[in-house]
Structure 1
Amino acid sequence: MGKMRWVSLLLATMMLLITACNVNMGEEKKPQPTDNKPGTETEVKAGTQKVVFWHAMGGANTKVVDQLVANFNESQDKVQVEAVYQGNYDDLLSKLKASMGTNDGPSVVQMYEIGSRFMIDSKLIKPMQDFIDTDKWDVSQLESNISGYYTFDNKLYSMPFNTSNPILYYNKDLFKDAGLDPENPPKTFEELKEAADTISKKGKAVGANFAIYGWFMEQLFANQGAEYVNNGNGRDGLATESLVNTEAGVKVLTWWKDLIDTKAANNLGRKTDDSKKAFSAGQVAMILDSTAALKGLVDSSTGKFEVGTAFLPKPADAKDGGVIVGGASLWMMNNRPDEEQKAAWEFIKFLTSPSQQAYWHINTGYFPITTKAYEEESVKENLKKFPQFQTAIDQLHQTKLNKATQGAVMGVFPEARQIVEGAIEEVLNNKKSPQQALDDAAKEITSKIQDYNRTVK
């Protein structure tokens, strides 16, 4: 079978497996993408190399991306980058598939972190490590707990771009009103249950709400030092089995259901926006959400209550663990001419510079991917304005990088998230026990992983 035919078959198979799950990492609602119609492309100056950058950053973040691109284009006269918003992550993946076999695809594409295994298996990309080695670029300037996710077999396959992790947000005023110490937020499942009980019984608000979001389950596994799929979380070899039904998963769902059953927490469904709205309205005292949501939550509470932030909770007897980075990274497409790839690499290096990372962080709430960005005065000033973000920085830096915190990889991750969300709903709605729901989810995910693996062997 020819290479292009094989890749097309793989892409077609994956598009059947990947359903329309819109990954929410705290971004604002997305505007409609602009089609690449004649007349909409950026006019390229004579003598410059054009680079096309496809991305999925909507809302206010589109303007931030456009500004980064403008900064690069103004910084030199040899390369001109055109940024094209392609809709949400799934829309972008669909358009990438449609560009196969044509000259209409991007030079560089942003892809969500759970699409990493697929991007590697697609044979469509050139590892970022190739450019790093040729250029002798210092990879140690990257945050190791961020670059670790995108590193496979000691190769950095893509460049981190928008990065977040989940933290606990809590209403300090409701803590005070319930007689709790607002400067000592809960650190464990057990402490969170006790605080949520106390607040709920006070009657002014519900103690907690967690959106039914598969990302949270993945994070609560990693925070216990537990792997999500076999074969070293899919990093020692292709994952062949889901581990979502192991002890770590049962602990999470047993605890979560107990919070609901005792009215220490409520269930508002899958949308993180609903959870955030309830928190901002003072209706719930604690929620889990992305660090990228921090500015919005602080701004929406101004004049009403003080927002506190804390590390993601874990069982009191949990092993060493931490959080996994979420978000997306930049992938170099291998079907573009060498000069175009080299030009795209210059753009990617520019994006990693401390000043550009500082601008990105301040205007979006995503982490800087380079450590020196924290030395920028603008970042220091932003931390004074939003001291809650120090929690996220400390949590990232205190995470021990291991197979659990490096993050699971599997070719059917988007669909696996939806299956896990369905299992959580079954438990919270009293349809199945935690063990049964997770057993069924693990069986279904494992079957889909194995179907996927057959397409890449």
Structure 2
Amino acid sequence: MKKWFILGFMFLFVLIISACSNDETTTGEEDTADTTETTNNDATVSDEKVKIEFWHAMSGANQAAIDKAVADYNASQEQYEVEALFQGSYEESLTKLRSVGGTSDAPAIMQVFEVGTKYMIENGYVEPVQTFIDQDNYDVSQLEENILNYYTVDGQLYSMPFNSSTPVMLYNKDAFKKAGLDPENPPQTFEEVIAVASKLSNDDMKGFAILLYGWFFEEMLATQGGLYVDADNGRTDQATQALFNGEEGLRIFEFLKEMNDAGTLGNFGSVWDDIRTAFVSGQVAMYLDSSAGIADIAKNAPFEVGAAYIPYSEKADRNGVIIGGASLWMMNGISKEEQAGAWDFMKYLQTPEVQAQWHVSTGYFAINPAAYEQDIVKERWTEYPQLQVTVNQLQDTKPSTATQGALISVFPESREHVVTAIEELYQGGDPQAVLDKAAESTNRAIEIANKTSGN
């Protein structure tokens, strides 16, 4: 109990922001026919549809998209009834899972954010989806490799990707033109961003900004080929120490420090809406955002919005991006009938038609790239060509342990340490010193977690 209490407690440190999450709510159709019930593994089975509980953490417009997918699935067949249940934030839903995980009271499907992957693998509550892939001879090659890579550990796909996103650099094309810059040729390297930010900055506008959120640091680290922790980013063994304070991480902090010292870097805090408002209102000309937020920004901005790959150091090759967002996990304490229904629903969600609707409704990637050939996607890309840039960046990513992403159970806490380091950097701290401090704090958290779990 102590082990899971401490691992669970780690998640209270999470700063998860809703760039990678929008929401809506749904209720499935109910079959009211009178039937005679039998039981199997404490789950109710009858001539009615088998009930499949789906816990998620999406609200607003994204919840509406979930509700539509669920309603369409329920109407498409007569065997299963999926019920989508909003459980609050990612952290709140995990707290609820801890009280029922491994029992028949657990949901059949659980949505968990990407940095919860290590915790989910180790908590004993789940059945890897690889089990059903193997039983069903399901062809995963039809799905996006660079999305599957994050959730694949030791050759097993543990969960099915769901709402997936990556960072992208958005920029004000009108501001580029006004500054005499080519709006079709955005900067690519750190040095180029620094130079362009200097030309774009004035009394009313900062040239560049990033949200105070560890995800963007992780992405700029990975695109240089840098690892966050040892043991191949925690993928070949338990990680024991942070590596993000090496040369790749230092380049990022020096990149930010140079613009901060020059007065061309905007600091708009850690709230997504604040930095997006700053961009749309013309207070910053370039910034990093989630690919899932692009369409809304392009729609609401009073100027033409450009989209570009995230910047990388000129001292390294561009490697690409790590997938963000969340995935769907199969619980192991439920009945075989519920598992069969959950698997059937997961497969339904990956069909090109469903993924196309999901992509245009939410801005998240289509897990099945065949969705991009659907007419509704082509129409959407015509309206918002920025969306295609995000897909190109993902598909151009080079598979590696760097772009696969790190696996550590204390990731949320580590992100907080990195954010603190960035704040100290902005206050005049030495780049290497504040990075080392964040790494040391992460190392202590990893050591405690490994001892608690017996590793």
TM-score class normalised by the smaller sequence: over 0.9
Deviations, residues 361-399 of structure 1 (Å, cap 9, x unaligned)? 000000000121111111111111110111101100111
The amino acid across from 2:223 in the alignment is: N
In the TM superposition, 1:269-418 aligns within 5 A as 269-301=269-301, 304-418=302-416
| Stretch deviating more after TM superposition (98-107 or 160-169) | 98-107
Distance 1:83 1:58 in 2: 12
Residues 47 and 41 (structure 1 numbering): CA distance in 2 closer, same or farther, change over 3 Å?
A: closer
Structure 1 residue 193: deviation in Å?
0.5
Distance (Å, rounded) in 2 between the aligned partners of 1:309 and 1:277: 17
In the TM superposition, residue 231 of structure 1 has moved relative to its aligned partner by: 0.2
Any idea what SS the aligned residue of 2:176 has?
helix
Kindly report which structure 2 residues correspond to 1:5-24, keeping only aligned pairs within 5 A, or say none.
8-24=1-17
- Provide the rounded CA distance (Å) in 2 between the counterparts of 1:30 and 1:423: 31
Partner of 1:5: none
Whole-angstrom CA distance in 2 between matches of 1:413 and 1:310: 27
Shift, 1:20, TM fit: 4.4
Structure 1: 4+ residue segments shifted above 6 A: 28-31
Structure 1 residue 56: Cα displacement: 0.6
**Structure 1 pair 29/41, CA: closer, same or farther in 2 (3 Å)?**
closer
Q: Distance in 1 between matches of 2:200 and 2:221?
A: 27
Find the aligned partners of 2:23 and 2:154 in 1 and give their Cα distance: 35
Name the CA distance, whole Å, in 2 between partners of 1:454 and 1:286: 43
CA distance, structure 1, for counterparts of residue 372 and residue 211 of structure 2: 31
Q: What corresponds to 1:263 in structure 2?
A: 263
Bigger mean CA offset, 96-105 vs 282-291: 96-105
1:152 corresponds to which residue? 153
Matched with 1:4 is: none
Is the contact made by 1:20 and 1:90 (CA closer than 8 Å) also made in structure 2? no
Measured against aligned partners, the alpha-carbon deviations of 1:207-228 in whole angstroms (never above 9, x if no partner) come to 1111111000100111101111
Note the aligned Cα RMSD (angstroms).
Answer: 1.7
> Which deviates more from structure 2 when the two are superposed, residues 169-178 or residues 318-327?
318-327
Residues 25 and 290, structure 1, Cα contact 8 Å, conserved in 2: no
1:102 to 1:131, Cα distance in 2 relative to 1, 3 A: closer
- Indicate how the Cα distance of structure 1 residues 189 and 256 shifts in structure 2: closer, same or farther if over 3 A, else same: same
Q: Once the two structures are superposed, what CA deviation does each residue of 1:131-176 show, in whole Å capped at 9, x if it has no partner?
A: 0000000010110000000000111110000000001000000000
Q: Is the 8 A contact 2:229 2:242 kept in 1?
A: yes
Q: Answer whether contact 2:167 2:291 (CA < 8 A) is retained.
A: yes
Q: Secondary structure at the match of 1:323?
A: coil
SS at match of 1:410: coil
Alpha carbons 1:158, 1:331 under 8 Å: kept: yes
Q: TM-score, normalised by structure 1?
A: 0.93
**Shift, 1:21, TM fit:** 2.6
> Does residue 439 in structure 1 map to residue 440 in structure 2?
no
The TM-score with structure 2 as length reference comes to 0.93
Residue 242 (structure 1) aligns with:
242
Conserved? CA contact 2:28–2:70, under 8 Å: no
Equivalent positions of 1:125-144 (< 5 A) are: 125-144=126-145
SS in structure 1 opposite 2:379?
helix
Letter in 2 for 1:192: V
Q: In the TM superposition, what whole-angstrom CA distance separates every residue of 1:324-378 from its partner, at most 9, and x where no partner exists?
A: 0000000000111111101110000000000000010000000000121111111
Distance 2:259 2:272 in 1: 18
Equivalent in the alignment of 2:42: none
Q: Percent identity?
A: 44
Say whether 1:210 aligns with 2:238: no
Other structure's SS at 2:201 match:
helix
Q: Secondary structure at the match of 1:18?
A: helix
Moved more, 228-237 or 17-26: 17-26
Structure 1 residue 451 corresponds to structure 2 residue 448: yes
Instruction: Give, in whole Å, the separation in 1 of the partners of 2:438 and 2:320.
Output: 24
> Are 2:207 and 2:285, in contact at CA under 8 Å, matched by a contact in 1?
yes
Contact kept in structure 2, 1:189 and 1:314, CA below 8 Å: yes
Which segment is superposed worse, 85-94 or 318-327? 318-327
Deviation (angstroms), 1:28 = 6.4
Q: Report the Cα offset of residue 44 of structure 1.
A: 5.3
In structure 2, relative to structure 1, the CA distance for the partners of 1:41 and 1:345 (3 Å cut) is closer
**Could you tell me which residue of structure 1 aligns to residue 79 of structure 2?**
78
Structure-2 change in CA distance of 1:319 and 1:406 (3 Å): same
CA contact (8 A) 1:25 1:292 kept: no
Distance 2:105 2:30 in 1: 16
- Contact 1:27–1:58 at 8 Å: present in 2 too? no
Encode CA deviations 1:273-308: one digit per residue, 9 max, x unaligned: 21111001011100101001101111111xx21000
Partner of 2:41: none
Q: 1:449 to 1:20 in 2, by over 3 A?
A: closer
Determine helix, strand or coil for the equivalent of 1:148. helix
Amino acid at match of 1:234: G
Deviation at 1:41, TM superposition (A): 9.5
With over 3 angstroms needed to count, the CA separation of the structure-2 counterparts of 1:433 and 1:44, relative to structure 1, is farther
Distance in 2 of aligned mates of 1:220 and 1:398: 15
Deviation at 1:30? Answer: 6.7
CA distance in 2, matches of 1:243, 1:305: 40
Please give the alpha-carbon distance, in whole angstroms, between the structure 2 residues aligned to 1:265 and 1:25.
23
1:102-141 deviations in Å (ceiling 9; x for gaps): 5432001000000000000111111111100000000101
Q: For 1:325 and 1:27, locate their aligned partners in 2 and report how far apart those are by CA, in whole Å.
A: 11
1:197 aligns with 2:194: no
The Cα shift of 1:451 comes to 1.1
- Does residue 108 (structure 1) correspond to residue 106 (structure 2)? The answer is no
For the Cα contact (< 8 Å) 1:210–1:287, is it kept in 2? Answer: yes
- 1:206 maps to a residue whose letter is K
- Superposition deviation, residue 10 in structure 1: 3.0
* Contact 1:361-1:368 at 8 Å conserved across structures: yes
What is the distance in 2 between the residues matched to 1:334 and 1:42?
Answer: 25
Show the counterpart of 1:3.
none
Structure 1's 61 and 30: CA in aligned 2 closer, same or farther, altered over 3 A? Answer: closer
Structure 2 Cα separation of the partners of residues 289 and 345 of structure 1: 32
Q: 3-state DSSP class of the match of 1:193?
A: helix
In the aligned structure 2, how far is the partner of 1:429 from the partner of 1:138? 51
